Amino acid sequence: MAGVIALCAGFLADLGLGDPRWLYHPVCAIGKWIAFWEKKLRRWFPKTGAGERAAGIALVLLVLLACGAIPMAVLLLLYQWNFWAGLAVETFWCYQMLATKSLKTESMKVYEALSTGTLEDGRYAVSMIVGRDTKALSEEGVIKATVETVAENTSDGVIAPMLYMAIGGVPLMFLYKGINTMDSMVGYKNEKYLNFGRCAAKLDDAANYVPARISGWLMVAASFLAGFDGKNAKKIYLRDRRNHASPNSAQTEAVMAGALGVQLAGNAYYFGKLYEKPTIGDSVRPIEREDIPRSNRLLYVTAGLGLLIFALARFAVLGLILA
């Protein structure tokens, strides 16, 4: 029961509070752990393709060990000492690991920058939440990048962590965030990380494979509930969910494109290099600024639906165990 309570309470705290800037975030600690070991491992292992791949595997093992063992040990000790202390910490960590409100807040900063400022303000705001080059983006490009980020992170930042929390509590949630953070830091296909980050990138693909597809179907259902074009969302999802180099990224992007009736993805620059990518969705109408708050509405309904289903599923499993 503690896991269900922590999940629901943590989700509600995230919706109400978001990420307070003054509070140190566990993902920052995970990021420092990754950066520390990357420097050490690159120095210890041979600077060859095989050596870098071996160093990347070692990094994955070190990160998984820390992200799994530390929260598990802390919670075991707390729950043995005092149930309410354990529940409080598990709820607090769940709250920190979910990104529903922060995703909305950061994406709406782009909306506000475009609405009250200049295109340059919009480019700067979107550069805070995407990995692509933003200096030459048009207003349409800024809006597309923002909507795509909301769509992709509905899975990575909300549904996937909730799913893993429902299955294995906060320790499994931490493990997932460790994998996700590794991929965001070293999972690039450039000269520096092609070999070193390969294991982390492949593991992230595997960890997100099921959550991304669950997120896609949840978003299709949410499209109907939120008043969007649910039929088109399903149609574009089934047609375009593989229109990405990643096996997972296009899952929720395709639903978002179909629900809003816009076209997403296409070519983009990363680190000064043009990457040719297929488009997702049909250009039923031009994308516009209001699609940013619309994407957030779909994010919130998808998140709420996910919480309801995961909590009920956990209750059902507990009922079967107790019966």
What six digits make up the tokens of 229?
């074009």
The whole-number pLDDT of residue 316 equals 80
The whole-number pLDDT of residue 276 equals 63
Q: Which of 321, 306, 293, 98 is nearest to 217 (CA)?
A: 306
Q: What residue type is 227 in one-letter code? A: G
**Pair 307, 11: CB distance under 8 Å:** yes
Residue carrying structure tokens 């990363």: 270
The whole-number pLDDT of residue 275 equals 60
Q: Which of 178, 192, 155 is nearest to 270 (CA)?
A: 192
Q: Which of 185, 29, 22 is nearest to 97 (CA)?
A: 29
What six digits make up the tokens of 96?
């920190």
The whole-number pLDDT of residue 184 equals 86
Cα separation, 82 vs 90, whole angstroms: 12
Q: Which of 118, 155, 126, 166 is nearest to 142 (CA)?
A: 126
Tens digit of pLDDT per residue, the chain (323 long)? Answer: 788 889 999 999 999 888 776 677 888 899 999 999 999 999 999 989 899 999 999 999 999 999 999 999 999 999 999 999 999 999 999 999 999 999 999 999 999 999 998 889 998 998 888 877 778 788 898 999 999 999 999 999 999 999 999 998 899 999 999 999 999 888 888 888 889 989 999 999 999 999 999 999 999 999 999 999 999 999 999 999 988 778 898 899 999 999 999 999 765 655 556 566 788 888 889 999 999 999 999 999 999 999 999 998 888 877 777 66
**pTM, to two decimals:** 0.90
Cβ-based neighbours of 33, under 8 Å, separated by 6 or more: 62, 63, 66
Cα separation, 297 vs 102, whole angstroms: 14
Task: Identify the H or E element spanning 265.
Answer: strand 264-265
Crossing angle between the packed helical segments 249-260 and 198-225, to the nearest 10 degrees: 30
Cα separation, 310 vs 166, whole angstroms: 6
Cα separation, 101 vs 108, whole angstroms: 10
What is the domain partition of the chain in residue ranges?
Answer: 2-322
**Pair 166, 7: CB distance under 8 Å:** yes
The whole-number pLDDT of residue 105 equals 93
DSSP string, 99-162: -HHHHHHHHHHHHHHHHHS-HHHHHHHHHTT-SS--TT--HHHHHHHHHHHHHHHHIIIIIHHH
The whole-number pLDDT of residue 318 equals 73
Q: 3-state DSSP call for residue 24?
A: coil
Helices (H), 226-290: 230-240, 249-260
